[in-house]
Amino acid sequence: MTLKKKKISLKEAREAGGKKYKEKIKKIIEDYKKLPDEKKHQIHLYYGYGKGKTTAAIGLAIRALGAGKKIAIVEFDKGYDEQTEHYSEHITLRKLKKQNLPLEVYRTGCERMNKDGTFRFKNADEDFKEAQRALSITKKLIRGGKQDLLILDEIIAAVVYHLIEKEDVFKIIDLYNKKRRFELVMTGHKLIEGLEEKVDLITEMRKIKHYFDKGIQARQGIEY
C-alpha cells in the first residue's frame, strides 16, 4: 500500500509545525551572537587510521577561503625538496596563492620517500630539527599571525612518531587558549592521552574497509 502525501507549498512547509524547536534554534542563534569573539573560536581534531584527515582539513581551508577568511597551514613531517611533489593538493594551494588569496603554507620535515618508492621510517637528526621548526612557526602564528584559521596538519602524528612530545601539543593549546583569535585544527592518527579534554570537536576517521587491503596502491589525486 502506497501512502498518499499531501502536497504543500514551500511557504506552507516553512510555516508548518515545530514551534518549540524553532524557538530553541532562534535562542541558540541569538545566544551565539552575544558571545565574545574569543569564545566563538573552537579547536578541531581530525584523527584515526581511516582515510580523510588531511582531506577534511584542506576542505575546510577551501571553504574558509570562500568565506573570505585568511588561512595558515603548518605541515609537520611533510617536507618538500622543491623537485618531486608527493602531495597533489599543494599544486592547487600554490595556484590559489598565486591568485593572491589569503593563504600561507609552511611545510616542514625531510623527504621520506626513497628513490625506489619505499618509505623511510627511521628518524634522523634533521627530522627532529624540522619538527622543532614547525613548533616555532606555530607559536609565532598563534602569537601574532593574521589568520582566521590555523591548520596543524599531522601534529598528532609527530607525537606518535616521537618527533615531538605530547606536552608540546598541550603547550600549543595553552598558548592558543590565552586568547582565542582564530579557529584551530589539528590532525593525526591517534587520540593521545589527555587531548580529548582539551579540544572542542573530535572526528574519528575509522577504517571500516579499505582497498589497500586487496592490493590497491596509493594513487595520485586520490591518496596523494
- Determine contact, residues 76/134, Cβ cutoff 8 Å: yes
Spell out the domain ranges in the chain. Answer: 42-194
Kindly report the backbone phi and psi dihedral angles of residue 44, in degrees, each rounded to the nearest multiple of 5, phi listed first.
-105, 145
For position 92, what pLDDT does the model report?
92
12 vs 194: which has the higher pLDDT: 194
Length of the chain as a residue count: 224
46 vs 34: which has the higher pLDDT: 46
Q: Which CATH architecture has domain 42-194?
A: 3-Layer(aba) Sandwich (3.40)
> How confident is the model over 120-136, as a mean pLDDT?
94
For position 1, what pLDDT does the model report?
58
For position 158, what pLDDT does the model report?
97
Q: What is the pTM of this model?
A: 0.89
Query: Cell 624540522 belongs to which residue?
Result: 130
pLDDT of 36 above 90: no
pLDDT of 119 above 70: yes
**Cα separation, 188 vs 49, whole angstroms:** 9
For position 224, what pLDDT does the model report?
80
68 vs 88: which has the higher pLDDT: 68
157's CB contacts (< 8 A; 6+ apart) are 76, 77, 187, 188, 189
Query: Cell 628518524 belongs to which residue?
Result: 123
Banded model confidence at residue 20, pLDDT cuts 50, 70, 90: confident
**Cα separation, 181 vs 39, whole angstroms:** 9
